[in-house]
């Protein structure tokens, strides 16, 4: 039977002819071109998605303190002296600051914005130049400075302020710092006969209030149990005073500072964590000026911590830091204690994702729409 079918089909082929519609070939060629274009665009989309994903994996994320405290303020990951062309501002209401210093380049006081990392060079009366003093409160709101025997204060959020005039009891102010609650200003000085004096001042005191005589040794901790003292000489330990005035030491890590270092307290991050500037000689593991966070000696050694907060501090004068902006420690050595404001200069990512990945996903979505339309068109035809 298969032979009869073969013979019948062969006879049909010799006696019948088939001529397809010419438009059929055109439609076939167009469909083939569309398939090639779609395949090419799909390949481009795949490459774009892969490139975006690679960029997302390779590019480092902006550095920030634990808990993303930048909206409330943060200490910058880097501090630099100001350029020569940075202008002066007479408006003291520049907002909360994270760092303050006197620029050796311009001789002017400078504050760094706590929320945006911007530098502001301030035009202040009796500006602290040529040995004058500058002090930023732990909360970053109050700024104090001294020159020519006067002490000035300014609120950086509303621009208000005042000053305490000099009198015969003191000829100079030699140290200026805030207590941990940012409500009182502490100072040391000398009178006209060279005797040591000092006192405590409210931040918003009246004009021309005489400075009360007293003798302060350093920055007290929030609980008042310890006082951190400046050690100008290179030594193996940071110096503290207990409540009764007994001197105690907190040994510095010998592997970091085999020849010792000079320690300048800048404030307290909490009742047992001191923020300090450490200046180490050449040959130290961390040379030069840097910012550290260390446990005070009233805690057991098993609880001690020592963290390098910021390296390579510039050679500026009267450096002070808003210690309240140091985040609470989470117990890990990888925790970021500062914020990289320079990384925030990049444009925001669309929908919160990397730009290159966003473009790749957009191309892939467009290809999917085109392929869907092609399938629908073919179905309709």
Chain-centroid distance of CA 241 in Å reads: 32
Residue 296, H or E segment: none
Q: Which CATH architecture has domain 70-339?
A: 6 Propeller (2.120)
Q: What is the DSSP letter of 70?
A: G
Q: Residue 192 has what pLDDT?
A: 75
Under a CB-based contact definition with an 8 Å cutoff, are residues 341 and 76 in contact? yes
**Burial (Cβ within 10 Å: 0-12, 13-18, ≥19) of residue 314:** middle
Place of tokens 């799909």: 42
Strands 231-235 and 196-202: unpaired
Instruction: Domain ranges for the chain, please list them.
Output: 24-62+358-381, 70-339
Q: What angle do CA 353, 357, 362 make, to 5 degrees?
A: 105
Strand partners, 184: 202
Task: Write out the DSSP string of 312-355.
Answer: ---S-EEEEE-GGGSPPP-S-TT---SB-GGGGGSPPPGGGS-H
Q: Residue 213 has what pLDDT?
A: 43
Shortest CA distance to 249 belongs to which of 257, 233, 260, 237? 237
* Structure confidence by residue, pLDDT tens digits, 243-277: 777 899 999 999 999 999 999 999 999 999 999 99
What's the full length of the chain, in residues?
Answer: 381
Out of 9-18, 102-111, 328-337, 366-375, which region has the weakest mean confidence (pLDDT)? 9-18
* Structure confidence by residue, pLDDT tens digits, 116-129: 999 999 998 877 76
* Structure confidence by residue, pLDDT tens digits, 78-119: 999 988 888 999 999 999 999 999 998 888 999 999 999 999
Dist CA 18 CA 89 (whole Å) = 91
Which residue would you say has higher pLDDT here, 254 or 202? Answer: 254
Under a CB-based contact definition with an 8 Å cutoff, are residues 248 and 227 in contact? no
Q: Residue 157 has what pLDDT?
A: 94
* Structure confidence by residue, pLDDT tens digits, 353-378: 445 555 666 767 777 777 777 767 66
Strand partners, 146: 133, 151
Which residue would you say has higher pLDDT here, 185 or 278? Answer: 278
């Amino acid at each position: 039977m298969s032979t009869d079918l073969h013979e019948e089909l062969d006879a049909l082929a010799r006696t019948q002819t088939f001529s397809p519609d010419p438009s059929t070939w055109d439609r076939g060629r167009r469909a083939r071109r569309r398939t090639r274009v779609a395949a090419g665009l799909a390949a481009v989309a795949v490459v774009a998605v892969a490139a975006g994903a690679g960029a997302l994996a390779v590019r480092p994320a902006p550095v920030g303190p634990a808990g993303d405290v930048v909206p409330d303020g943060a200490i910058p990951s880097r501090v630099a002296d100001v350029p020569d062309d940075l202008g002066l501002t007479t408006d003291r209401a520049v907002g909360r600051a994270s760092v303050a210093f006197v620029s050796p380049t311009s001789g002017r006081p400078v504050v760094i914005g706590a929320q945006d990392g911007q530098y502001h060079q301030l035009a202040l009366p009796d500006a602290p130049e040529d040995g004058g003093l500058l002090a930023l409160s732990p909360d970053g709101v109050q700024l104090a400075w001294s020159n020519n025997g006067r002490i000035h204060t300014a609120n950086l959020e509303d621009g208000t302020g005042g000053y305490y005039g000099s009198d015969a009891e003191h000829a100079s102010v030699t140290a200026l710092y805030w207590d941990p609650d940012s409500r009182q200003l502490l100072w040391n000085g000398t009178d006209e006969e060279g005797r040591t004096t000092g006192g405590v001042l409210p931040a918003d005191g009246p004009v021309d209030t005489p400075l009360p005589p007293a003798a302060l040794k350093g920055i007290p901790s929030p609980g008042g149990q310890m006082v951190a003292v400046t050690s100008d000489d290179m030594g193996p330990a940071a110096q503290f005073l207990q409540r009764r005035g007994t001197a105690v030491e907190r040994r510095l890590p010998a592997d970091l500072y085999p020849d010792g270092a000079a320690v300048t307290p800048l404030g307290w991050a909490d009742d047992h964590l001191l923020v300090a500037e450490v200046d180490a000689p050449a040959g130290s593991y961390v040379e030069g000026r840097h910012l550290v966070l260390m446990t005070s000696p009233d805690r057991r050694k098993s609880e001690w911590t020592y963290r390098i907060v910021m390296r390579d501090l510039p050679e500026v004068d009267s450096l002070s830091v808003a210690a309240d902006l140091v985040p609470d420690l989470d117990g890990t050595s990888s925790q970021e204690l500062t914020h990289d404001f320079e990384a925030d200069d990049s444009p925001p990512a669309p929908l919160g994702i990397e730009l290159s990945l966003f473009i790749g996903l957009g191309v892939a979505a467009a290809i999917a729409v085109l392929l869907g339309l092609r399938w629908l068109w073919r179905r309709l035809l």
